[in-house]
A and B are shown apart, each in its own frame.
Chain A
Amino acid sequence: GAGVSQTPSNKVTEKGKYVELRCDPISGHTALYWYRQSLGQGPEFLIYFQGTGAADDSGLPNDRFFAVRPEGSVSTLKIQRTERGDSAVYLCASSLTGGLAGGREQYFGPGTRLTVT
Chain B
Amino acid sequence: AQSVTQLGSHVSVSEGALVLLRCNYSSSVPPYLFWYVQYPNQGLQLLLKYTSAATLVKGINGFEAEFKKSETSFHLTKPSAHMSDAAEYFCAVSEAGGFKTIFGAGTRLFVKA
CA distance A40 to B96 in the complex (A): 28
Taking a contact as CB atoms under 8 Å apart, the answer to whether A105 and B106 are in contact is no
Q: Choose, from B13-21, B40-48, B64-72, the stretch at the interface.
A: B40-48
Taking a contact as CB atoms under 8 Å apart, the answer to whether A41 and B100 are in contact is no
Taking a contact as CB atoms under 8 Å apart, the answer to whether B96 and A103 are in contact is yes
A-B contact count (CB 8 A): 71
At the interface, yes or no: A12 with Cβ under 8 Å from chain B? no
CA distance A59 to B95 in the complex (A): 16
Interface size on B, residues (CB 8 A): 26
Taking a contact as CB atoms under 8 Å apart, the answer to whether A102 and B94 are in contact is yes
At the interface, yes or no: A20 with Cβ under 8 Å from chain B? no
Q: Which of A67-98 contact B (CB under 8 A)?
A: 91, 93, 98
Interface size on A, residues (CB 8 A): 29
Min C-beta distance of A78 to chain B, whole Å: 21
Min C-beta distance of B63 to chain A, whole Å: 15
Taking a contact as CB atoms under 8 Å apart, the answer to whether A103 and B101 are in contact is no
Q: Which of B15-74 contact A (CB under 8 A)?
A: 32, 36, 42-46, 49, 51
Taking a contact as CB atoms under 8 Å apart, the answer to whether A101 and B32 are in contact is yes
Given contacts A103-B51, A109-B43, A111-B43, contact A58 B100 (CB under 8 A): yes
Min C-beta distance of A105 to chain B, whole Å: 5
Min C-beta distance of A108 to chain B, whole Å: 4
- Pick from A50, A91, A101: contact of B43, CB under 8 Å: A91
At the interface, yes or no: A43 with Cβ under 8 Å from chain B? yes
At the interface, yes or no: B110 with Cβ under 8 Å from chain A? no
CA distance A48 to B80 in the complex (A): 37
Min C-beta distance of A94 to chain B, whole Å: 12
- The residue of chain B having its C-beta at the shortest distance from the C-beta of A33 within the complex is B101
CA distance A110 to B42 in the complex (A): 6
Enumerate the 6 nearest inter-chain pairs by beta-carbon distance, A residue then B residue, closest first: A102-B94, A42-B103, A108-B43, A108-B44, A103-B51, A101-B97
Q: Could you list which residues of chain B lie within 8 angstroms of chain A, going by C-beta atoms?
A: 4, 9, 32, 36, 42-46, 49, 51, 90, 92, 94-106
Q: What are 23 residue pairs bridging A and B, where the CB atoms are less than 8 Å apart in the complex?
A: A4-B43, A31-B99, A33-B101, A40-B106, A42-B103, A42-B106, A43-B44, A43-B103, A44-B103, A45-B100, A45-B101, A45-B102, A45-B103, A48-B99, A50-B99, A101-B97, A102-B101, A103-B51, A103-B94, A105-B49, A108-B44, A108-B45, A111-B43
